[in-house]
Amino acid sequence: MASVMEVYEALMDHFGPQEWWPAESTFEMLVGAILTQNVSWRNVEVALENLKNHGVLDPERMQGMEQRELEILIRPTGFYRQKAERLKALSQAVLEQGGVVSFLKQEDLRNKLLGIKGIGPETADSMILYGAGEPTFVVDAYTTRITARVFGVEADYHTIKAFFEEDLPRDPVIYGEYHALLVVLGKRHCKKSKPVCEGCPICHLCPC
DNA sequence: GGCCAGGTGTAAA
DNA sequence: TTTACACATGGC
């Protein structure tokens, strides 16, 4: 069976650095993390553009606007009523801490994030890794699927998270690149319905 | 028309 | 503790 490091190196050699998270500001990163829940990133980009065009990609402006208007702007991401409520909860929490920087410097940040309605383990870990720059491994649907297929590990969120963290240097850059590379692999090759082995950079390491 | 997309909260077994 | 379901738009 392939090792976690071998797969990482093969993905990096093939796809190169992804330099995630794609965002022009830290607040945009946090908002994107909520908007991308169970929706393709393409749809998120449209919503983020809508928010920018209306000048509300900012905690104060977002908190000050009508939730109903927010719903309209983020509609392309689906689940828009829930997500509008979640963005309101996020912007409120950010403002209560005096801004994005202080928000992400809170003690016990992970549990603080999980205490906000609408932020689960993946969203919290994304915010900590790509927003705060702290090393915590992010497990998404691609990671779960690829881990089962490539490493033969079928487990829950925190078991998979620990599986990667045990074999990697505690480095936010490596964690960030690895997660991004798994997403790219998942989109192009390790698909839900069936693997696309043609051109897959880790086919030689995979029991598929 | 069916499947999938960078999940989470809630309720019931 | 596990499983089922609601939440909703858009691309292929």
In whole angstroms, C4 C1' to A13 CA is: 41
Q: How much is the pTM?
A: 0.97
For the cut 90, the answer to whether the pLDDT of residue A140 exceeds it is yes
Instruction: Provide the CA A80 to C1' B7 distance, Å, integer.
Output: 13
User: Is the shortest CB-to-strand distance from A32 to strand C under 7 Å?
Assistant: no
At A52 the pLDDT is 98
* Distance in angstroms: CA A14, C1' B11: 45
Query: What is the pLDDT, as a whole number, of residue A1?
Result: 86
Spatial CA neighbour of A142 closest among A150, A133, A134: A150
The full DSSP string for A66-118 is -HHHHHHHHGGGS-HHHHHHHHHHHHHHHHHTTSHHHHHT-TTHHHHHHTSTT
Residue A185 burial (C-beta neighbours within 10 Å; 0-12, 13-18, 19+): buried
Residue A28 Cβ < 7 Å to strand B: no
Which of the nucleotides lies closest to A180 (Cα–C1')?
B6
